Amino acid sequence: MASITLKNVVKQYHQGKQSLQVIHGVNAEIADGEFIVIVGPSGCGKSTLLRMVAGLEEISGGDIMIGPRVVNQLEPAERDIAMVFQNYALYPHMSVFDNMAYGLKIAKVPVDEIKARVDKAAGILELGHLLERKPRQLSGGQRQRVAMGRAIVRQPQVFLFDEPLSNLDAKLRAQTRLEIQKLHRELGITSLFVTHDQVEAMTLAQRMIVMNAGNMEQFGTPEEVYARPATTFVASFMGAPP
Ligand code: ADP
Ligand code: MG
């Protein structure tokens, strides 16, 4: 596990001669083991911020630290993070076990260790009876759990979630939300979870970052944000019906 520090993080995208600043200096200190939700309307920069923490997008200014390390220049694989996306592409020809084991095989983790880690993850995610199946023989929710299992087995210091529930129907979304909470209770891995859904944010967050147009409008517990919104944007966004 590790803390995450964002120091005046800036992002500019360049298109030809034009440059467009989409993140305007975000500061946040996230403690070891916290579950943080980044919430805000579509286009406000949530994915960009998350992708910079992941190392999938270069930062244009400031620093990102994971634990004591400044990771600005590190490749994604060197950052000790695992990411769960909305579109959880599984390998269709591989079993559930092999899907979860694949990254570890590539990393040359010993076979016994791979089996132990996959079994542990399958236990937490209730996938133990499905390890021999192929993705097409699973429900949408089960597939999403395999995608999470694939992230867990890597034993990352940090989990990054980018709207992992938005492709699921309401019932499955609620169920998967409970699974993510259980996962966090059991493993306590520092997590950044992005969503545009206020209700999802309120239910999952220990603390939440409310974003608007590339700025962090407020960083606080759901109770603080709801009861004492820092700006009129936060008040109207959090007060709006889901
Ligand atoms: P969110 O995830 O909150 O919906 P994004 O981080 O995807 O927002 O996008 C933030 C802003 O950056 C948007 O205005 C978007 O159009 C812009 N943007 C995202 N990716 C790129 C890119 N590769 N090139 C140029 N602009 C981008
Ligand atoms: Mg996004």
pLDDT tens, N- to C-terminus, the chain (242 residues): 799 999 999 999 998 899 999 999 999 999 999 999 999 999 999 999 999 999 999 999 999 999 999 999 999 989 999 988 777 789 999 999 999 999 999 999 999 999 999 999 999 889 999 999 999 999 888 998 999 999 999 999 999 999 988 878 888 888 889 989 998 999 999 999 999 999 999 999 999 999 999 999 999 999 999 999 999 999 999 985 54
d(CA 141, CA 136): 12
Q: Ligand 1: list residues with CB < 6 Å.
A: 13, 15, 20, 22, 40, 42-48
Q: How far is CA 171 from the centre of its chain?
A: 21
* Spacing, Cα 37 to ligand 2 middle (Å): 13
Question: 85 alpha carbon to ligand 2 midpoint, in Å?
Answer: 10
Ligand 2 centre distance from Cα of residue 86 (Å): 10
The CA 60 to ligand 1 mean position distance, Å, reads: 14
- Ligand that comes closest to the CA of residue 215: 1
Q: What angle do CA 235, 240, 242 make, to 5 degrees?
A: 135
**pTM for this prediction:** 0.92
Pairing of strands 61-66, 69-70: antiparallel
Q: Which of 48, 52, 57, 86 to probe ligand 1 with, by most ligand atoms within 8 A of CB? A: 48
Token pair recorded at residue 146: 């395999």
Give this complex's ipTM: 0.98
